[in-house]
Amino acid sequence: MTTSTRVHNFCAGPCTLPVSVLEEVRDEMLDFGGTGMSIVEASHRADAYDAVHMGALADFRELASVPDEFTVLFLQGGASLQFGQVPMNLLAPDETAGYVDTGTWGGKALSEARLVADVYEAWSGAEGSFTRVPTADEIHVRDGAGFVHLASNETIGGIRFPDFPELGIPLVADMSSDFLSRPIDWGRFDLVYGGAQKNLGPAGLAVVVVRTDLLGRSGRDLVSYLDYRTHASADSMANTPPMFPIYVMGKVLAWMKAAGGLGEFQRRAARRADLVYGAIDGSDGWYRSPVDVASRSHMNIVFRLPDEDLEQRFVAEAAAAGLVNLKGHRSVGGIRASVYNAMPVESVETLVGFMADFRSANA
């Protein structure tokens, strides 16, 4: 099979993966490494899987330059389970933490955390319709707060923290939609987490990186699966791990290492973002970005057209031209182009060309 049948997939997640990774998976599907079976048919206690699993843990650590004092965990339940699991593990029932509400995901993290801990809203972007991230001095840090939680990138609103606020207390970040798209300054964080299905691989896997000395910090009796210590003491193989997503993510991590690492992916992301925002800004206001320039996401680029009819036609005609999943999230409307780590710049150039043609035909 050739790749010519493949579309340009701008889906917000799950999303496009490197073709070379998909080809390797295909080639190994009937016989993984001479075992006579695929990896999804193997025992998770088999040597073949053990090498895949430990390799993925090691590659994540190396690629993200995770320091020795952090533990990397592979968990199920997506980023959504972490909204509750983080406070369960880091906060005693009477302790507090601040949550920055920058939109859908920052807000969800806060409302879920409230179910298990006495957390508070440290800033809300609601007044500005979630079109920017706050500055450090806008974020309220309460005396005794354990951490401040934020979403590094809001997948639906299309905003991100270009740098992380210096608050004098540790940060905890949901990095789901820009995970490993830029280097991480680990000194600022107690914990970061994200679902794999935006930047790193298939759905079904969350990666949590936590300071090892915080394990057991909350003193709570938790269901074993919810206690990070269960997974930390077993290399994330305390129970059957999500083998297939870990296997595919391992290949994506190897592909990222070979391509040059996080600095290279940061450059690629900036290039893709410059192309699309350039097309928006160069359209004399015909295409319009609703978000604050300094907060513009490099992963999820949202924009509007002069009216909703045109937006519907834009999505339909783009799909007919092989550019799919450009419809904005139903909660905000408009157009959203998600351009994650594996999105080739050629696909973005094709999109920008389509934007120019569509404008000429309709302006």
Ligand X SMILES: *Cc1c(COP(=O)(O)O)cnc(C)c1O
Q: What is the DSSP letter of 342?
A: T
Structure tokens belonging to residue 59: 């590659």
Decide: helix, strand or coil at residue 318.
helix
Q: Which is nearer to ligand X, 105 or 277 (CB)?
A: 105
Cβ within 8 Å of residue 96, ≥6 positions away: 117, 118, 119, 120, 142, 144, 145, 146
**Dihedral of CA 306/310/316/318: which sign?**
negative
The amino acid at residue 247 is Y
Catalytic residue among 198, 227, 251, 327: 198
Residues in the chain: 363
Give yes or no for residue 116 binding ligand X (CB under 6 A).
no
Label the pairing between strands 300-303 and 189-195: unpaired
Give yes or no for residue 13 binding ligand X (CB under 6 A).
yes
Is 174 one of the annotated active-site residues of the chain? Answer: yes
Q: Which is nearer to ligand X, 14 or 18 (CB)?
A: 14
Q: Which is nearer to ligand X, 155 or 230 (CB)?
A: 155
Distance of alpha carbon 26 from alpha carbon 236, whole angstroms = 26
Q: Which is nearer to ligand X, 79 or 252 (CB)?
A: 79
User: Which residue's C-beta sits nearest to ligand X?
Assistant: 78
Structure tokens belonging to residue 66: 């995770």
Shortest distance in whole angstroms from residue 45 CB to ligand X: 26
Shortest distance in whole angstroms from residue 206 CB to ligand X: 6
141 near 169, Cβ under 8 Å?
yes
Shortest distance in whole angstroms from residue 144 CB to ligand X: 27
Give yes or no for residue 201 binding ligand X (CB under 6 A).
no
Give yes or no for residue 78 binding ligand X (CB under 6 A).
yes
Count of residues of this chain found to bind ligand X when the rule CB under 6 A is applied: 12
Q: What H or E segment, with its residue span, contains residue 105? A: helix 104-114
- Sole window of 56-64, 73-81, 223-231, 236-244 interacting with ligand X (rule: CB under 6 A): 73-81
Is 255 one of the annotated active-site residues of the chain? Answer: no
Q: Which is nearer to ligand X, 195 or 354 (CB)?
A: 195
Shortest distance in whole angstroms from residue 157 CB to ligand X: 10
Q: Which of residues 142-181 bind ligand X (CB under 6 A)?
A: 151, 155, 174, 176-177
Give yes or no for residue 105 binding ligand X (CB under 6 A).
yes
Decide: helix, strand or coil at residue 73.
strand
337-347 b/e with 16+ CB inside 10 Å = b? Answer: bbbbbbbeeeb
Is 105 one of the annotated active-site residues of the chain? Answer: yes
Kindly list the residues in this chain that would bind ligand X in the complex (CB under 6 A): 13, 78-80, 105, 151, 155, 174, 176-177, 195, 198
Q: Which residues are catalytic?
A: 105, 174, 198
